Chain A
Amino acid sequence: MPYLLEYEAKQIFRKEGLTTPEGEVAETPEQAKSFAERIGKPVVIKIQIPAGRRGRAGGVKFAENPDEAGKAARELIGKEFLGHKVNKVLVEEKLDIKKEFYIGVVNDRAAKSPAVLISSEGGMEIEEITQKFPEKLAKINVDIFKGLQVFQARNAARKVGIPTELINSVANMVYNLYWRIYRKYDATFTEINPLCLTSDGKLIAVDARLSIDDDAMFRHKEIIPETEKYLNEREKHAKEKGYVYVELDPNAEIACISNGAGLGMSVMDYVNEAGGRLACFMDVGGRFYELAGDALKMVLTLPNLKAVLFHVYAGLTRANVIAKGVCEAIKEVKPKIPIFIQVSGTGEKGAIEIMKKESEEFKKMGLTVEWCSHTVTGEESPSSHKGGVDVIETPVKRVLELCGIKYKRNPPKWLPEHPEWEKTTREIMRKTLPLRPEPEYKELAKYE
């Protein structure tokens, strides 16, 4: 989700006719100083990072003169705030502010439509406004086909107590934010907070937030967000190939590649709760199943990796295609660290055949590759594990062990475990599996 930095958002806002303060973006203290000179007034120095609440984190400083501006920039550039390194600061004229408002457009997931928010209070996060001043916040659910009309914005502005003489100008600003920003740029979210009334009676977007829908970026090729310039090699590669790769901790020991977000996130939970660390969240499911081998090669470049887990329960994906792709990649790369492959679901029979055959090859090559699948019993080859009820947990457990971490379930306090339910699940499986006509389930029953 490309989150634009404030200065990038403001460039777009200005292009679309929404007024922002005079300002320039600086990469060095010297630049900040010379911009302050050019502005010729007291200035504000704001760090440019992809996060909100920058003011509270100490990332916004005021300067009366150019020297102070240079000094403030020196204190900010290169430092880390809220987990992000500051590469740039925005130097802007300091305004004489009379009143602050809030306007924004968000997705209303429940109404499945855009929602426009207007408040006569601004300068604090919208959650805080909602809590402290509910009567001063209006929400307009917009019909995506009709779009926002100015009268709706005017009425809402009036309702939340914006003074009569300002309702036309505020409503126009809201109208432009909806049509010329939210709709035109496929925003997932946009906000002016605060929208300021200056002592000389102007309405100015003092902060601007804009986040564009990843899936709509093909319609906005002219926008190259700065946050994407700082992607590492792996993130760039994944982006090029088009699969999901979220680097959680590049120095962690386990990489998990799953075919679906649900399985990937569940593995993340169990690993984290056992005290392990996942280097990345990676989803090659759906349309990307043919890239499984490529994905494996990519994660093997993580520096401290001790094991890779391939966790696949296929629907739209095909387990046999993934098994083939991964095995080919393993033979090519000959990884020095252990690989665990779990392949179940659509194409399961084919995947099991491939794993049985390839396991022998891997053994000859001296590689550590272990595997399991829902209907295997663990007797198929020396490197196979039992599937069945354990097919989701066994791979996580084994991979942690391979990293020298003892697996232990440790869910949060508000989510109590139910060992008695698990026991019942196992009892039921033992009883019902032999009753099935399929031989693999009868076989599996012996081991449940």
Chain B
Amino acid sequence: MTVFATEKTVALVQGITGKEGAFRTKRMLEYGTKIVAGVTPGKGGQEVYGVPVYDSVEEAVKAHPEINTAVQFVPARLAKDASFEVIEAGIKNLLIIAEGIPFQDTMEIVTMGKEKGVTIVGPNTSGVISPPICELGACCQSAFHGPGKIGVISTTGSVQWYVSRLISLGGWGVSTMMQIGGDPIRGTDFPEALLMYEKDPQTEAMVIIGEIGGDSEIRAADLIERGEVKKPVIAYIYARTAPPGKRLGHAGAIIERGGGVEAKVKALQKAGAIVITYPWEILGAIKELGIKTIPELFKTPIKESKIEE
């Protein structure tokens, strides 16, 4: 078993006829993800790489009742409407890729999702990947070797691909990498994500990659301290030299009224998590936990879709 993206995932792609939607659908299909339908209003009846396109989520779900996950490649301004459509149609997992969704829209999306029991990951994420079974979104497939044992939860893509690749090449492999995204309001935060991995038998330890802004990492530390997360947690928190008041790339990455790195690091250390100072310390920290590597992991080639353009 793994988290969010599993062998049971049957996906629908919203915005499948768009440039990015089509390109990523092809890559996900080549990776082995089950995608049975796409939705673009006004383009029903077409096909994208053999995947039938529908005008609405409702129609797609009627034709393919096995759909349990929606991957959303629609522009930020349309994300609220598209998300409500997914939730109303009864799909229980939603991945929102778009960056730049007005955060009050996101509040409405996550509130509605919570009421209807929908797990939402994102917005502002490149996705979730459980190697080598299922990729959702736009991940760097070549960074992963699996099935592995380490759960990776991250606000960012970039540094995380590097960390995940080291974990993969190091012989432990990643169970699921979940990029929770860099927005101030997100469907899944560190605490919720940690609890998902805590229940997953395949995951033996979690790595969290966090940043300035908000208190998600501190709430994660509280969970560890209270004993609700028992598996070991390793953390890397960047932007420790960030100037206050400047928003650095991510909408959520700003020091205002708290949210600095020092408080997060201290809370995590106090709770018993291992905090690494540089991402290249990661394998030494995992080894210290006494987790065994997977010998077979070295034998299978890394799975990656061949298309680049």
Contact = CB atoms under 8 A, between A and B. Distances in A.
Interface in B200-241: 209, 211-212, 214-216, 219, 238-241
Contact of A345 (B107, B124, B140, B253): B140
Contacts of A433: 169
A201 interface: no
A392 B166 CA distance: 12
B69 interface: no
A422 B284 CA distance: 6
A421 B156 contact: no
Contacts of B42: none
A260 B126 CA distance: 11
B158 A260 contact: yes
Interface in A384-401: 389-393
Interface residues of A, number: 89
B50 interface: no
A392 B279 contact: yes
Contacts, number: 270
Contact of A315 (B157, B216, B280, B283): B157
Say whether chain B's binding surface is mostly helix, strand, loop, or mixed: loop
Contact of B209 (A262, A264, A347): A262
B296 to A, nearest CB: 11
B308 A347 contact: yes
Interface string A122-146: 0000110000000000000001110
Interface in A230-246: 244, 246
A186 interface: yes
Interface stretch (B6-14, B33-41, B96-104): B96-104
A361 B164 CA distance: 34
Contacts of A92: none
Contact of A269 (B165, B189, B241, B281): B241
A333 interface: no
B159 A392 contact: yes
A125 to B, nearest CB: 9
Interface stretch (A94-102, A293-301, A434-442): A434-442
Contacts of A392: 159, 162, 279-280
A114 B108 CA distance: 11
A286 B248 contact: no
A107 B185 contact: yes
Contacts of A199: none
B138 A264 contact: no
A323 to B, nearest CB: 11
Contacts of A420: 284
A415 B107 CA distance: 34
A340 interface: no
15 contacts: A107-B185, A260-B249, A312-B158, A314-B158, A315-B139, A316-B127, A346-B308, A348-B142, A422-B284, A423-B284, A424-B283, A424-B287, A428-B170, A432-B170, A435-B299
Interface of B: 76-77, 97, 99-105, 107-108, 110-112, 114, 124, 126-127, 137-143, 154-162, 165-166, 169-171, 179, 182, 184-186, 189, 209, 211-212, 214-216, 219, 238-243, 245-254, 257, 262, 265-266, 275-285, 287-288, 293, 298-302, 308-309
In the A-B complex, the 4 residue pairs with the smallest Cβ-Cβ separation, listed nearest first, are A262-B156, A421-B284, A261-B249, A260-B158
